[in-house]
Amino acid sequence: MSRPRFEAADVLREYGDAFLAAHPQPPHVCSALNLIRICRTAALDGHLDRCPGCGFERPSYNSCRNRHCPKCQTTAKQEWLEKRKADLLDVPYFHCVFTLPHELNPLILQNKRLMLGLLFRSANETLAGFARHPKWKLEGQPGFIAVLHTWNQELRDHFHLHIILPAGVLRGTEFIHPPQARFLFPVRALGNVFAAKYRDHLLRVFKAGKLEFHGQLVPLADPPAFKHLLNSTQKKKSWNVYAKRPFGGPAQVLDYLGRYTHRVAISNHRIKSIAHDKVTFTAKNRKKNKTYLVTLDAFEFLRRFTLHILPPNFMKIRCFGFLANTNKRGALITIRSALGMQPPPEPSDDEPKETTPEKILRLTGLDVTRCPKCKGKLVACPLPHPERPP
Domains of the chain by residue range: 8-68+356-381, 74-265+313-339
Query: Over 135-162, what HEC string results?
Result: HHCCCCECEEEEEEEEECCCCCEEEEEE
List the one residue out of 117, 162, 118 whose CA is nearest residue 144. 162
DSSP 372: T
- Asked if 230 contacts 203 with a C-beta cutoff of 8 angstroms, the reply is yes
Identity at 64, one-letter amino acid code? C
**How far, in Å, are 7, 222, 314, 315 from residue 39 at the CA level?**
11, 44, 22, 22
Render pLDDT for 76-112 as a digit per residue (tens, 0 to 9). Answer: 887 888 888 888 898 888 889 999 999 999 999 999 9
Helix (H) or strand (E) holding 22: helix 8-22
Residue 348's pLDDT is what? 59
The values of phi and psi at residue 156, to 5°, are -75, 160
Q: What is the rounded distance in angstroms from the CA atom of residue 113 to the CA atom of residue 66?
A: 18
Task: Looking at mean pLDDT, say which of 44-53, 239-248, 253-262 comes out highest.
Answer: 44-53
Q: Is pLDDT of 347 > 70?
A: no
Residue 351's pLDDT is what? 63
**How far, in Å, are 5, 195, 214, 320 from residue 220 at the CA level?**
45, 20, 9, 33
Identity at 339, one-letter amino acid code? L
The alpha-carbon radius of gyration of the chain (Å, integer) is 24
Residue 350's pLDDT is what? 59
List the one residue out of 271, 338, 342, 327 whose CA is nearest residue 304. 271
Residue 1's pLDDT is what? 42
The values of phi and psi at residue 231, to 5°, are -65, -30
Render pLDDT for 13-63 as a digit per residue (tens, 0 to 9). Answer: 999 999 999 999 999 999 999 999 999 999 999 999 999 989 899 998 999
Q: Which of 50-54, 201-205, 349-353, 379-383 has the lowest mean pLDDT?
A: 349-353
Yes or no: domain 74-265+313-339 corresponds to CATH 2.60.40: no
Residue 2's pLDDT is what? 47
Q: What beta strand segments (E) does the chain contain?
A: 46-50, 57-61, 93-99, 143-151, 157-166, 169-171, 174-176, 241-244, 271-275, 278-285, 290-297, 317-321, 379-381
Mean pLDDT of 140-168: 95
Q: Is pLDDT of 224 > 80?
A: yes
**How far, in Å, are 145, 155, 196, 308, 336 from residue 321 at the CA level?**
9, 32, 21, 27, 16
